[in-house]
Structure 1
């Protein structure tokens, strides 16, 4: 398997009910290969954060994570434990699955979970509907600050790191940031404004 990227997913998504996949797994009596095994992992990680307790140790298992043992995964895959362990080690090496530090159980994370389930795509679609896009931010920032349009690549990378809420604030608070500068010649470049999260500054009025 290749490590997922946003570029790979530009061809779109298929809406595939989990029950159909589960029935196929039952019919074939387990995972036939690494792809089947990965899809099983994808369908057995958390959709939302839950609290777990193992050996009297309480911890959070977040969205896109699982705390099942290798023995349980082997049972799900219909494989021997040695093959199951080899599969996870291979996924760790390729960065498709991450190992979460936990001395009490096998704790894993799918770092691209939101991408796989289309969450990022839905968030981006909502942002575009509301007019909160990088292009809108880029134009407004330079219209308000009258600064040169520099380092757009870095600014775009910083934009992608922000949550939908932070992107909304970054666009909404440009005027407030600029109006509260003691000296406008020290106005940040757009990329720095985003990376420093200057849109979250609090001012005394």
Structure 2
């Protein structure tokens, strides 16, 4: 925008963004670029609504706007730092990035009739320094956030369902130093919204930032007490005691196919890799994903068209296949049948 004005608080002086002229200019460019009112924007022939305090510039466009010292990677890291301080949010959109300056209703350059400034845009705070707020006018008690509000916070902070789990996984590792598998993250988010927001933390979460903090705490509890993995392990243990490898092969192959198999040799191969296959299968909630299924995928003709020749490559291919399934198929689908159909499609 080329008209209007922005306001910066004096408390920005001495912060990390003020000490670095390149960051300071970029922050001012952001405040001067986001919309004051909603506008329709055309991108590659598609019309998108760019809302209040939002911008639909791509990361490449931001880099060009900020100057020659910037590139796409540096812009992404700068935005990540601002997001950690809950100053902006970004959501991947169609061939661009939807950036929003947060808390705009408190920080706009609006005026009273007596022309006194009552608000300003947020100031990126100094690392390790608590953010302070000043209440002006009537003080109102904020209502606790519900499931829908918490879900919207996660959407703004970590993106849509296609990237949300990975972004939460990355944020958790940055905060704690521990890496949690994507399945555990996905289950933890679901249980946090369904149980945490309605029972455990009901009435206690009134700020958007608290949603993120309590989610990270929830994931830590899931990892620490291993509740999810314990349930998965119990289900897998029950499944494993029901049949042997020979019985599994008998259930899934025709008699003429079984005659061509050396079952004793297959059992030896399975036994030498059972520890790895069992641990991998425990990472999935679907009871159909057993060590036998993974063995069939990695060492039998069934999996020839899937992944590479090495065990690790086939496991990675299976993970990619699993991610693109619907929630129902991930939890209850016939994985063997779905995997076979997917292998045929991938080979075409």
Larger radius of gyration: 2
Could you tell me the TM-score, scaled by structure 2's length? 0.27
Could you tell me the TM-score, scaled by structure 1's length? 0.43
Of structures 1 and 2, the one scoring higher in RCO (CA 8 A, sep 6+) is 1
